[in-house]
Chain A
Amino acid sequence: MRYRGRYALGVLCLAAATLASLAIPFTVQRAIDALRADATAARLGSYVGVIVLLAAANGVARLGSRFTIIGGAQRLEYDLRNDLYASLQTLPPRFYAKNPTGELMSRASSDVAAVRSLVGFGAVSLVGTVFAFAGALVAMLAADPWLTLWALAPYPALVLLAKRFNAVVNQRAQATQEQLGVLSARVQEYIAGMSVVRAYTLEPRASADFARANREYLRRSLALARTQASFAPLMGLIAGVGTLVLLWAGGKAVVDGRLSLGALVAFNGYLAYLTWPTIALGWTLSIVRRGLTSFERIDEIIRGAQVDPVAASPGPARQDGRPLSVRFADLTFAFEGRAPALRSVSFEVAAGETVAIVGPTGAGKSTLGLLLARLWEPPPGTVFVGERDVTELALADLRARLGYVPQEGFLFSRSLQDNVALGREEVDEPRVRAAAATAGVAEEIERFPAGYATVVGERGLTLSGGQRQRVALARALVTAPPILVLDDAFASVDAAKEEEIAAGLRRFVAGRTVLLMTHRLRAAQVADRVIVLAEGRVVEAGRHAELLHAGGLYARLWRIQQLEEEIARA
């Protein structure tokens, strides 16, 4: 526990605060007794002074405890979030495929908040409650053991009452939450399906359905309300019962001369001090429970952080700009629980060669790229970069040599400059411009109000799909990596643009190893060779002219694109 010192200090402060606040009724007792004994105003002033001092001490100590403990809790939260983030960064796409963003976000926010409650307010409450009970008990026993017995007699029953109350509240609260979920699902379904509701005049049906769920929610929340309404009255009852017992039993004690009036008043003060902790006990315990569960869920992710076992192995020699070869050898790969996406794929891309990989959707083109970059783990001995098995290379080294442009051009909510550079020091403005020019997006960027400083994304400019993709392309090009993998980089681009980018690329790919996955065959013409993939298998390979002549799948795909262009031009 990193913040032991803070917490210890906080606990000390709480102890001091408890002492100080319990000392007040004690002083009141003395004051009242003194008044009764000898009714002069003389010593009254000093008693009052003591009370003010004690109140101040209490205030300061409580402040101190809050600052130390809650401050500590906030630091813990800070660390927890950082650790969680760091671990998430190491997890591969396989993890993200199974855990949707929404769920992870809720873990990061609500679970973290629950842990903070646990170590912050929960801790204060727990420790405070313990001290309160202990202190008040001691004080009361010191004053009059018999009265203490009388006063505490109803307490077990009250504590049980409070516990039962909490249990029922929890159960009904859960039932209400559940029904809210049902209602929520109904609303969502109908809103999402409004076009059907409209077309089939289902409005009355939808209304009735909603009304049913709505009524049930009302019923459950009223059940909850019936129980919850007891909360404040219960507190009052507990305090009142205490006072009642004191009044009656304590009054007798005063009458019999066993107890002074002052002591009676003080006793009342001690008892009142216990009201809140009694009710809060159940609630504090639930915070503790929830906090622990949440902590486990977060810890699960943190402990699951992947460490790259190959971290220190030497990769192909430092970036010397020389192109590298790529080879796939009898690669068969299936995503978890699905049919194989690639079957016995074998081909080679020589250093400096540009190869286009084409085929219908779902043929497995993207999978090749994912495996090359080791976003998904290929079987050993199937994927080679520079004649080294990728599974034996350190991830950082492998990815430094690869410029990968994935299918969806993802941009961050930042300036275009930052999106392209991504904080890489060696990437300066001129290089960004050059890369943007090659990617065919420089002109458009310069027409934006702030040029490369324009912020894009949620809070900024929304780029079209094609523009996003080209910026992503620039991002990969800007460090001139020895191997470039372009997955469907021209999908949202029309024929004319495609020509332009193809021309730019032709300049750029000279002397680089490039894998171009696309189903737009015009762009594929940039390549030296074409590999045709269908249903995970290599069905044709060769140069453009040869394949056209062969009249196979490639030729058919070419004809289809021709038709599409003619139709688009009509």
Chain B
Amino acid sequence: MPERSRDRDPDEKLGSAFDRGLVARLWQAARPHRALIAGSTLLFPLIAAAELAQPYLLKIAIDEHILRADWLGLTWVAGLYAGVLALLYALRWLEAYLMQLTGQLVIHDLRAQSFGRLLGLEAAFFDRNPVGRLMTRVLNDTEAVSEAFTSGLFAVVADVVTLTGVVAVMLWIDWRLALVTFSIVPVLFVVAAYFRLRARDAYRRVRQRLAHLNAVLQESLQGMTVIQLFARERHEYAGFRRANAEYRRALFGSTLYEVLLYASVEGLGSIALALLLWYGGSEIVAGALSFGALVAFIQYTNRFFLPIRDLGAKYTVMQAAMASAERIFGLLDQAPAIASPAGAASRAGVRRHASPVEFASVWFAYEGDDWVLRDCAFRVAPGERVALVGATGEGKSTCARLLNRAYDVARGRVLVDGVDVRAWDLANLRRHVGIVFQDALLFTGTIEENLRLHADGALSAAELGRAVETARAAGFVAALPQGLGQVLTERGGNVSHGQRQLLAIARALVYNPAVLVLDEATSSVDPESEALIRQAMAGLLKDRTSITIAHRLSTVQNADRILVLHRGRIHEEGSHADLLKLGGLYARLWELGTGSPPA
């Protein structure tokens, strides 16, 4: 196929982390699991309460019991503390698990939906989007979206609830001390935000430099032969070193900010502690505060600072997640360009009878004005066996794709059974028209699974056996250790190329379409396989309307009629003998194929 222009991959642009529209759609995605979300939301206050209880118990322990030398009472409080610990462990575990559960369920749903959407999209979409990108969508972007829930939304809500609780308790115990502690907060916020921003920019630079470094390496690996041939090793090495050094500098920069961030946060934490001690200490001196309260306060302060520090990090996670969400929803919103027309008549019963096929003034281009078919017109009568030949492979295979509406024509019409293919119900059309492709693509699974195409199980073992027989595949299948149950490995492996072609023919026989397009494989196989394939094809083409895109001379000779496709239109047509006598394009192609001039 000619080089196609690819859709631009949405850049690594980071929008707002809380884009309204996206958040709404995320909520849509999570709705089916709202019970779970509600459940875990209920847990937050419970957990917060338990967490807040711990330091408070400490306070009581110190003030009421230790300082009063009441060891028995202390033991009771210790017991209570242990109970809270156990409860907290269980609750926290439950919350974390519920969060993950929700996240994973969302991923599962999104993956199923995006894959399902892909199955419905037309061939042109796949031309524009490389396989790698689509896989990233289905596999990675979905995970990132779930992160938006677990590390993002949930965590933020949890933090907010905890924070509120802590603030409340601190104010209640000693509001003056609380305010002293809170005075640090604005400073912490500003400092953390500043370093975080610089760190984020630094990370982006690091990613860019790393991508560049990897690109240099990849290119060097691919072009290593050229580098070695021209003895450019030292020159290229110098180039690599430069890129490497740039990367290292960027890396160091990001480390700098990261380290400064943590150092400043920790430092501020210590300052807060010092402030506490100073102010709290003087209150104790003045008798306005108990020791236990001070100790409790110190503990609360820790629980206070943690969420604030992490809030910024969560924002970054949300941003990345939103970017992924945008891409996923973009895919889900993709409307198939080729679909069944509304209210298309179901022609389920019509499958068995051989139909006529017509191409009427068809113009088609994969891209822009690069016409592959120009005013191509021909007819195939019901049950007729036609061979399509031509110098270039492009136009011929395209005819197959237009017949089953993998692509739609730009101008003109393609008619099957007298009806424009665009008026057919799509699934029915594709049951009616079958294609055997050039590369006998089989899926991972057993031979039987590959042949038994539809889950309806309407195919009896006898019918399956007959198909395998007719396809001349019975011989080698029987020789396989597991016969029909033999698992085929991806793209090759345990079955030879010629044998795969036979299996592809068997598959088409099972499918039993009324119209068949047989796009012959171009690669040659050994003579024995060649003979088997020839016989198998003869069996396949019986009682059907067929168009064979021919490379094998035997097929061409036995066709009822031959169409010569050249520069997008039918150049010559007729029987083999007639065309040879004509001495035109076909005659030359024949000579080219057989290596000897026509007698």
Interface membership of A346, Cβ < 8 A: no
Interface membership of B85, Cβ < 8 A: yes
Count A-B contacts at CB 8 Å.
Answer: 338
Of chain A, the residue at the smallest CB distance from B237 is A86
**Are the C-beta atoms of A71 and B252 separated by less than 8 Å?**
yes
Instruction: Provide the bound-state CA to CA distance between A108 and B216, in Å.
Output: 12
Q: Which residues of A contact B217 (CB under 8 A)?
A: 85, 105, 108
Q: Which residues of B contact A41 (CB under 8 A)?
A: 281-282, 285
**Are the C-beta atoms of B74 and A251 separated by less than 8 Å?**
yes
**Are the C-beta atoms of B67 and A244 separated by less than 8 Å?**
no
**Are the C-beta atoms of A85 and B220 separated by less than 8 Å?**
yes
Query: Contacts A44-B282, A229-B100: A201 and B430 contacting too (C-beta < 8 A)?
Result: yes
**Are the C-beta atoms of B232 and A244 separated by less than 8 Å?**
no
Nearest-neighbour CB distance to chain B for A312, whole angstroms, equals 16
Interface membership of A281, Cβ < 8 A: no
Interface membership of B3, Cβ < 8 A: yes
Interface membership of A508, Cβ < 8 A: no
**Are the C-beta atoms of B391 and A233 separated by less than 8 Å?**
no
**Are the C-beta atoms of A230 and B222 separated by less than 8 Å?**
no
Of chain B, the residue at the smallest CB distance from A264 is B66
**Are the C-beta atoms of B89 and A236 separated by less than 8 Å?**
yes
Nearest-neighbour CB distance to chain B for A415, whole angstroms, equals 14
**Are the C-beta atoms of A89 and B236 separated by less than 8 Å?**
yes
Interface membership of A226, Cβ < 8 A: yes
**Are the C-beta atoms of A89 and B225 separated by less than 8 Å?**
no
Which of B54, B236, B434 is in CB contact (< 8 Å) with A199? B434
**Are the C-beta atoms of A423 and B285 separated by less than 8 Å?**
no
Nearest-neighbour CB distance to chain B for A48, whole angstroms, equals 4
Segment of A332-340, A394-402, A439-447 engaged in the interface with chain B: A394-402
Nearest-neighbour CB distance to chain B for A469, whole angstroms, equals 13
Interface membership of B411, Cβ < 8 A: no
Q: Which residues of B contact A174 (CB under 8 A)?
A: none
**Are the C-beta atoms of A563 and B592 separated by less than 8 Å?**
yes
Nearest-neighbour CB distance to chain A for B190, whole angstroms, equals 18
Query: Contacts A194-B123, A207-B115, A237-B89: A63 and B259 contacting too (C-beta < 8 A)?
Result: yes
Instruction: Provide the bound-state CA to CA distance between A96 and B224, in Å.
Output: 9
Q: Which residues of B contact A196 (CB under 8 A)?
A: 437, 441, 443
Q: Which residues of B contact A204 (CB under 8 A)?
A: 454-455
Nearest-neighbour CB distance to chain A for B490, whole angstroms, equals 7
Interface core residue of B78, B126, B229, B267 (most chain A CB under 10 Å) = B229
Q: Which residues of B contact A56 (CB under 8 A)?
A: 267, 270
Interface membership of B531, Cβ < 8 A: no
**Are the C-beta atoms of A210 and B123 separated by less than 8 Å?**
no
Instruction: Provide the bound-state CA to CA distance between A265 and B585, in Å.
Output: 99
Interface membership of B500, Cβ < 8 A: no
Nearest-neighbour CB distance to chain A for B18, whole angstroms, equals 25
Interface membership of B77, Cβ < 8 A: yes
Of chain B, the residue at the smallest CB distance from A55 is B270
Segment of B130-138, B171-179, B314-322, B374-382 engaged in the interface with chain A: B130-138
| Chain B stretch 110-139: residues in CB contact (< 8 A) with chain A | 111-112, 115-116, 118-120, 123, 126, 131, 134-135, 138-139
Cβ contacts A23-58/B at 8 Å (1 or 0 each): 010001001100110011100110110011011101
**Are the C-beta atoms of B591 and A188 separated by less than 8 Å?**
no
Which of B3, B104, B240, B295 is in CB contact (< 8 Å) with A85? B240
Of chain A, the residue at the smallest CB distance from B94 is A229
Q: Which residues of B contact A184 (CB under 8 A)?
A: 135, 139
Q: Which residues of B contact A36 (CB under 8 A)?
A: 291
Query: Contacts A96-B221, A203-B120: A218 and B112 contacting too (C-beta < 8 A)?
Result: no
Of chain B, the residue at the smallest CB distance from A200 is B453
Interface membership of A142, Cβ < 8 A: no
**Are the C-beta atoms of B104 and A225 separated by less than 8 Å?**
yes
Nearest-neighbour CB distance to chain A for B575, whole angstroms, equals 20
Interface residues on A, range: 35 or more
Q: Which residues of B contact A189 (CB under 8 A)?
A: 443-444, 490
Instruction: Provide the bound-state CA to CA distance between A406 and B223, in Å.
Output: 11
**Are the C-beta atoms of A247 and B277 separated by less than 8 Å?**
no
Instruction: Provide the bound-state CA to CA distance between A28 and B363, in Å.
Output: 87
Of chain A, the residue at the smallest CB distance from B240 is A85
Interface core residue of B70, B116, B278 (most chain A CB under 10 Å) = B278
**Are the C-beta atoms of B277 and A67 separated by less than 8 Å?**
no
Interface core residue of B237, B277, B431 (most chain A CB under 10 Å) = B277
Interface membership of A519, Cβ < 8 A: no
| Chain B stretch 437-451: residues in CB contact (< 8 A) with chain A | 437, 441, 443-444
Instruction: Provide the bound-state CA to CA distance between A197 and B441, in Å.
Output: 10
Interface membership of B482, Cβ < 8 A: no
Segment of A75-83, A125-133, A533-541, A543-551 engaged in the interface with chain B: A75-83
Interface membership of B551, Cβ < 8 A: no
Nearest-neighbour CB distance to chain B for A420, whole angstroms, equals 11
Which secondary structure dominates chain B's binding surface? helix
Instruction: Provide the bound-state CA to CA distance between A71 and B256, in Å.
Output: 10
Instruction: Provide the bound-state CA to CA distance between A189 and B591, in Å.
Output: 40
Cβ contacts B261-297/A at 8 Å (1 or 0 each): 0010011001101100110011011000001000100
Query: Contacts A44-B278, A51-B274, A243-B58: A226 and B97 contacting too (C-beta < 8 A)?
Result: yes
Interface membership of B14, Cβ < 8 A: no
Interface membership of A252, Cβ < 8 A: yes
Q: Which residues of B contact A461 (CB under 8 A)?
A: none
Q: Which residues of A contact B437 (CB under 8 A)?
A: 195-196, 199
**Are the C-beta atoms of A254 and B58 separated by less than 8 Å?**
no
Segment of B180-188, B241-249, B539-547 engaged in the interface with chain A: B241-249
Interface core residue of B82, B224, B282 (most chain A CB under 10 Å) = B224
Instruction: Provide the bound-state CA to CA distance between A180 and B401, in Å.
Output: 33
Instruction: Provide the bound-state CA to CA distance between A457 and B219, in Å.
Output: 10
Of chain A, the residue at the smallest CB distance from B103 is A225
**Are the C-beta atoms of A236 and B92 separated by less than 8 Å?**
yes
**Are the C-beta atoms of B295 and A422 separated by less than 8 Å?**
no
Cβ contacts A218-255/B at 8 Å (1 or 0 each): 10011001101111111011001101100110011011
Interface membership of A193, Cβ < 8 A: yes
**Are the C-beta atoms of B277 and A31 separated by less than 8 Å?**
yes
Nearest-neighbour CB distance to chain B for A31, whole angstroms, equals 6
Nearest-neighbour CB distance to chain B for A207, whole angstroms, equals 6
**Are the C-beta atoms of B78 and A422 separated by less than 8 Å?**
no
Query: Contacts A410-B226, A556-B595: A187 and B66 contacting too (C-beta < 8 A)?
Result: no
Of chain B, the residue at the smallest CB distance from A201 is B430
Of chain A, the residue at the smallest CB distance from B111 is A214
Interface core residue of A81, A104, A199, A234 (most chain B CB under 10 Å) = A199
Q: Which residues of B contact A55 (CB under 8 A)?
A: 266-267, 270-271, 273-274
Nearest-neighbour CB distance to chain B for A185, whole angstroms, equals 7
Q: Which residues of A contact B259 (CB under 8 A)?
A: 63, 66-67, 70
Instruction: Provide the bound-state CA to CA distance between A381 and B141, in Å.
Output: 58
Query: Contacts A32-B291, A55-B267, A233-B96: A564 and B248 contacting too (C-beta < 8 A)?
Result: no
Interface membership of B233, Cβ < 8 A: yes
**Are the C-beta atoms of B100 and A222 separated by less than 8 Å?**
yes
Q: Which residues of B contact A570 (CB under 8 A)?
A: 566, 571, 584-585, 588
Q: Which residues of B contact A63 (CB under 8 A)?
A: 259-260, 263
**Are the C-beta atoms of A564 and B218 separated by less than 8 Å?**
no
Which of B3, B71, B213 is in CB contact (< 8 Å) with A251? B71
Which of A192, A198, A200, A248 is in CB contact (< 8 Å) with B406? A198
Q: Which residues of A contact B507 (CB under 8 A)?
A: 200
Instruction: Provide the bound-state CA to CA distance between A217 and B566, in Å.
Output: 51
**Are the C-beta atoms of B255 and A71 separated by less than 8 Å?**
yes
Cβ contacts B73-111/A at 8 Å (1 or 0 each): 011011001100100111011101100110011011001
Interface pairs (18), CB distance under 8 Å: A31-B277, A51-B270, A51-B277, A55-B273, A66-B255, A77-B251, A85-B220, A88-B220, A201-B431, A207-B112, A214-B112, A218-B104, A222-B101, A226-B97, A240-B54, A406-B226, A458-B215, A567-B585
6 interchain residue pairs of minimum CB distance: A55-B270, A225-B100, A229-B96, A233-B92, A423-B235, A248-B78
Q: A56-B270, A85-B237, A412-B223 are in contact. List 11 more A-B contacts (CB 8 A).
A: A35-B284, A44-B282, A90-B233, A187-B115, A189-B443, A232-B96, A247-B74, A261-B67, A261-B291, A567-B391, A567-B592
